[in-house]
Structure formats: C-alpha cells, structure tokens
Amino acid sequence: MAPIIYDQATKLFPGSDIPAVDNLNLEIEDGEFLVLVGPSGCGKSTSLRMIAGLEDVDSGRILIGGRDVTYAAPKDRDIAMVFQNYALYPHMSVAENMGFALKIAGAPGAEIERRVAEAAAMLDLGAYLDRKPKALSGGQRQRVAMGRAIVRQPQVFLMDEPLSNLDAKLRVQTRIQIGQLQRRLGVTTVYVTHDQVEAMTMGDRVAVLKGGVLQQCASPRELYRKPANVFVAGFMGSPSMNLLTLPITDRGVRFGDTTIPVPRDTLTAACNRDVIVGVRPEHLEVAETGMKLEIDVVEELGAEAYVFGHTTIEGRTEQLVARVGWRNPPQKGEVVHVRINTEHVHLFATTPAGDRLSP
C-alpha cells in the first residue's frame, strides 16, 4: 500500500504541440480510490499509464510510496493493471491466468495455488478455475482480470475503463463489487473512466481532466456542489447543469422574472458586464408563476422525470432542463412556469477559464 504523487508530470507525444498531460500535480493518498474522469482525449489513460511506466514522463516526476519511479521499469513499480479488454491469455485456464505473474516471478507452486484460491473465493470464481477465458461470460472475464491483479498483492491497482465491455446492469453490479473489494484490500487505486456516474459512485475523490489539464480534484459531493469552473459544472451531473450567460444589473442577475442577488465582490471579480449562471435541473422548479418554459421532450425514468424545453431570455432562445415530479409530469408541447431556487445558483466568470465566482 502506498501513496502516489504526480509532481508536475508532463507528457508530450512526438509530433504534437499540446501536451497530452500538462504539468499534473496530484497526491493520491495511501488506500484511496481515485477516479480520473473527463471527455475522450483529455489525457486520462496517459496519466494512468505514466504511473504504470507504460508512457515516459517528459518532465516532472512520479512517486509511489515515497519512491521516485519516474524512470523505473513497469515491473519494478509494484503495480497491477486491469485493462479495458482484460488482456487474458486465451490458451491458459482461469487459474493459470491468475497465477501467471507469480509464476514468472518464481513463486513456489503451493504459494501460487493458495493465493489464486483466495482471490477466486473473493471474486466467486472458484467453480471456473479450470475453464479457458473463451468459455466465460464478459462479467466472469472481468473478474478474472481483477483476480489476476489481486493475486499479485501489489502496492497499487491501476484500472483503465475495466467495465466498459459489460452491459448496463452488470456494470452497476460490478462497480459495487470493485468498490467493496478495494475497501477490503485497502490498496491505493487509480481508476479511469469517461462515465461521470461511475466516477461519482466509485471515487473517494474524483480528478476531472480537460485537454490534459487538471480542472478539479475533490470528493464527489464537493464536485457536484462546488464545481471549480464552468467545465466541471457542465461535465458532472446528468442531465447537465443549465448554464446561461446573463447580464449583471445593479441588484444582481435577472433570470426571467427572478433577480438572483450577487454579492458586490463577486461582481467586481467578474470584471465584466456578464456572468454565467448555473442551475442544476433539480433546482429549477415548476411553479404557478415564473418564467415560461415550452416543453420539447419529457424523459420519464421511473422514480424521476425531466423536462427539456425552451424559453426566451434577454431576447435569446435558451434551452433549459428541469426535474419534475414523476407522478404527473407535464406533457410535450405544454407551457409551464419555472422558478429558480436562488439558494442553489452557481456563478462563473465569462473568461475562457470560466472560474467559479460564488462561494
């Protein structure tokens, strides 16, 4: 078990002007489950592979357990990686796949057998030890890949989208199992996903990347409640936060017929005549009075429902999404009134970084 430190770690692929990972500073605590999340191409896999030693670090350092491993070979880093495609050996049985790394390392046969049996019991794979990977379901293969990592008893688990080949239901089950297993073993884990629901549900902390640059690293709750900038605000949460650029008036920001009070120092920080207002769908409430919203689409999800509609604000047509009661949601084409819950408004600067202005 060990903490991991990215110290100004940068990776620039040959032929590219923009670093895939740009000056990354991040400390992952001993035993922590850290999720790297972001859109395609943001540098998640490259960041993970830098810990593994599968990508060179162009500048900066990587430390595992206080040891500088920036130039250490992958085999000398005491890590185990679980890949998206599982990378199982097709000609080997489940038991042989799981024990292979120990065999290569010269561990005695009895020791290998004991550790494979232990991991198989944890993962409910005892009945499949003699089977070849092709005779397993996707979920079982995924568990063998996990088993292979566990058997090695590494200091660090590195997982690159390990659930992406599973169907939706199995993904949910397996993410719970992985979370339980990680807590039980207490091994520092870095987990890559593009799925923000997976990130929010699995991570002790979540690091959001965009264009190779770390945007924010915080607990799922903090990310959701206090996104550091417009990008994080829009990326975390489904459906996404409503984000509207609105003019600042003397008393605050006008949102339909509601005035959102904005503290004077926030206005000064904004240094602009506009501000970006963010409101989550659950904080835009259908009411008797308020701004008119013409409903284009109704999404009923069973326990909750969302309406997607359009309205006119400051002479512009704006799309908005609001959460509504599931019992009797409004219908497509209907016009409803929505009010903003001003206690839950987020304000961001209109600068390219879109930094958070509200406390």
- Label residue 186 left, alpha or beta by phi (over 0 means left) and psi (-120 to 50 means alpha): left
The residue (of 83 and 308) whose beta carbon lies closer to ligand ATP is: 83
| Residue choice 6, 28, 33, 45 for contact with ligand ATP (CB under 6 A) | 45
Residue 160: CB minimum distance to ligand ATP, A: 8
What is the rounded CA–CA span in Å between residue 11 and residue 60? 9
CA distance 8 to 58: 10
Cβ neighbour number for residue 316 with a 10 Å cutoff: 10
Do you know the residue count of the chain? 359
| Strand residue runs (E) in 169-283 | 188-193, 205-210, 213-218, 242-247, 252-255, 258-261, 274-279
Which member of 42, 150, 163, 199 binds ligand ATP (CB under 6 A)?
A: 42
**What is the nearest approach in angstroms of ligand ATP to the Cβ of residue 39?**
7
CB of 49 to ligand ATP, least distance (A): 8
Count of residues that interact with ligand ATP, criterion CB under 6 A: 12
Query: Residue 41, interface with ligand ATP (CB under 6 A)?
Result: yes
CB of 31 to ligand ATP, least distance (A): 25
Shortest separation between residue 41's beta carbon and ligand ATP, angstroms: 4
User: In angstroms, what CA-CA distances link 321 with 218, 238, 286, 289, 301?
Assistant: 26, 10, 11, 17, 14
Stretch that binds ligand ATP, among 43-51, 183-191, 229-237, 312-320 (CB under 6 A): 43-51
Strands 213-218 and 205-210: antiparallel
Reference 179, options 161, 198, 155, 192; nearest CA is 198
Residue 153: CA atoms inside 13 Å, Cβ hemisphere, count?
9
- Give CA–CA dist 158/291, Å, rounded: 48
Question: Residue 119 Cβ, how far from ligand ATP at the closest point, in Å?
Answer: 28
Q: Token pair of 230, please?
A: 């417009």
Q: How far apart are CA 277 and CA 350, in angstroms?
A: 10
- Look-up: residue for tokens 């503290």? 263
Min. distance of Cβ 191 from ligand ATP in angstroms? 12
Minimum distance, C-beta of residue 65 to ligand ATP, in the bound complex (Å): 24
Q: Distance between CA atoms of 345 and 357, rounded to whole angstroms? A: 11
Between residues 97 and 193, which has the closer beta carbon with respect to ligand ATP? 193
Q: Distance (Å, rounded) from C-alpha 283 to C-alpha 286?
A: 10
Cα separation, 157 vs 169, in Å, equals 24
Determine if 13 is a binding residue for ligand ATP (CB under 6 A): yes
Minimum distance from residue 106 beta carbon to ligand ATP (Å): 33
Q: Which of positions 169-208 make contact with ligand ATP (CB under 6 A)?
A: 194
Binding mask 136-175 for ligand ATP (x = CB under 6 A): ----------------------------------------
List 34, 46, 57, 290, residue binding ligand ATP (CB under 6 A): 46
Binding to ligand ATP (CB under 6 A) within 87-116 occurs at none
Interface residue with ligand ATP among 20, 26, 79, 125 (CB under 6 A) is: 20
Q: Is 210 in the site for ligand ATP (CB under 6 A)?
A: no
Residue 328 binds ligand ATP (CB under 6 A)? no
CA 355 from centre of chain: 20
| Span interacting with ligand ATP, options 35-43, 68-76, 130-138, 330-338, rule CB under 6 A | 35-43
Task: State the residues that interact with ligand ATP by CB under 6 A.
Answer: 13, 16, 20, 38, 40-46, 194
